[in-house]
Amino acid sequence: MKSFEEFTLKEIVDQIEDGFLLGIPADYSGVPMAFTKELINKGFKNLRLYCLPLTTIQGDMLIGSGCVSEIETAAVTLGEFGLAPRFSEAVEKGNIKIKDSTCPALHAQLQATEKSVPFMPLRGVIGSDVQKNRKDWQIISNPMKSAGVENEPILLLPAVQIDVLVFHAACADRNGNIQIGRRRELATLAHASRKVFVTVEQVLETDFFEDELSAATCLPSLYVDGISEVKNGAWPCMLPGVYPSDNEEIKKYSLAAKTKSSFDEYMKFFLNS
C-alpha cells in the first residue's frame, strides 16, 4: 500500500474552483501540461494565475482557452519561439487583468506567506512603472532605527496565499515525498499554498528520507495533498534532467497561436492528444 493519496488528473481538477489563485511553476521547474489539458477541458472561466516567476505555453494556452481572468507574473514568453500570442492579445484587448511584477517580488510575496507575516520588504523596483501600477504594493519610510538608512523609501509587498499549486516532477517515493532537486522555488511555492498536487513520471519503491543526501533533494510529503502518476506529464515542455522540451511541438504551437482560429484548431488536436 502506498502511504499517500493517489489522485487521478480529474480528481485534482475537481479540487479547483473558479476564482482560485493557482500557483504556476516556471518552465524549468516542471510544468504540469497533462494536468493543464484536464483543467482546460473542465471549462473554467475565472482562474487567477500566480507565476513563479514566469510561464510559457501553459499560461498562454490557459489564457487562449478563456480560463483566466487575471495573471500576476514577471513574464509570459515562448522563449526562443517568441512572444506568447494568446497572452499578448488578451492583454492588448484588455480581456485579462495583468498584474505585472518582477521575479524577486514574486518570490518575496510567497516568502511572506511562508513565514505567515503580512508583508515582505524588497529593495530596488521603486520608481519603475511596475511598482507604480501595483496598488497592492506600498512604499514606507524605513521605520527601522537599528538598520538601513533613515528616511529611505522601502517597498513592502503583501503576503500572497496560493489556493492550489500543481507541478510536475520526476518522481515521488512510496511515502509521497517529491524529488525537486535544485528547484527549491517549488518548496517556497508549496509552503505558500493551501493545497498542493503533484504529477510525477513515476513513484519509486524507496524512501528518500532513508539517506541524508537524497532527503536533501525532496519536498516532504507533509506539503503534498495528492499525487498522480503521469508519464510525459510535462510534454511538450521539458522536465529538467529527464527529458528536453519538444521544440517541434512548441514551434507548431507558437505558429498556431498567432490567431484565435488556428489556436482553436490546434487546441482541438492538443486536448485529444
Partner 1 sequence: MTIDIKREELLISQLADLLINDNHVAVGAASPIPGAAALLAKEEARYLDKRLRVTILHSSRYNNFTDGARELFDCAAQGRIDTFFLGGVQIDGQANINLVGTGKYPHTKKRFPGSFGSPLMYFVVPQIILFREEHSPRTLVQKVDFISAPGVSDDKIYRPGGPKYLLTNRALFKFNKKNEKFSLLKLNENETSDTITKLTGFDFDIHEDLSYMSWPDNKRLDIMRNNVAPMVSEFYPEFANKIWGV
From candidates 66, 79, 82, 240, binder to a copy of itself by CB under 8 A: 240
244 binds a copy of itself (CB under 8 A): no
CB of 104 to partner 1, least distance (A): 4
Dihedral sign, CA of 138, 139, 143, 146? positive
248 binds a copy of itself (CB under 8 A): no
97 binds a copy of itself (CB under 8 A): no
Cell readout for 106 is 514574486
Smaller CB separation from a copy of itself, 133 or 140: 140
CB of 175 to partner 1, least distance (A): 10
Judged by CB under 8 A, the chain residues 198 through 217 that form the site for a copy of itself are: 212-217
156 binds a copy of itself (CB under 8 A): yes
Q: Please report where in the chains the cell 521605520 appears, as a residue.
A: 143
100 φ/ψ angles, rounded to the nearest 5 degrees: -65, 130
Write the single-letter amino acid at 49: L
Alpha-helical segments (H) within the chain: 9-14, 33-42, 57-64, 85-92, 103-115, 129-132, 185-191, 212-215, 247-256, 260-271
How many whole angstroms separate alpha carbon 119 and alpha carbon 155?
A: 10
108 binds a copy of itself (CB under 8 A): yes
CB of 255 to partner 1, least distance (A): 17
From candidates 94, 143, 205, 273, binder to a copy of itself by CB under 8 A: 143
CB of 83 to partner 1, least distance (A): 7
CB of 153 to a copy of itself, least distance (A): 11
Closest among 58, 60, 68, 87 to 238, alpha carbons compared: 58
Sheet order of strands, 119-122 included: 119-122, 153-158, 138-141
CB of 273 to partner 1, least distance (A): 26
Cell readout for 143 is 521605520
Per rule CB under 8 A, count of chain residues that contact a copy of itself: 43
* Helices first, then strands: H and E counts in the chain: 10, 14
From candidates 127, 148, 153, 244, binder to a copy of itself by CB under 8 A: 148
Q: Which residues bind a copy of itself (CB under 8 A)?
A: 108, 111-112, 115-123, 135-138, 140, 142-149, 152, 154, 156, 158-159, 179-182, 184, 212-217, 240-241
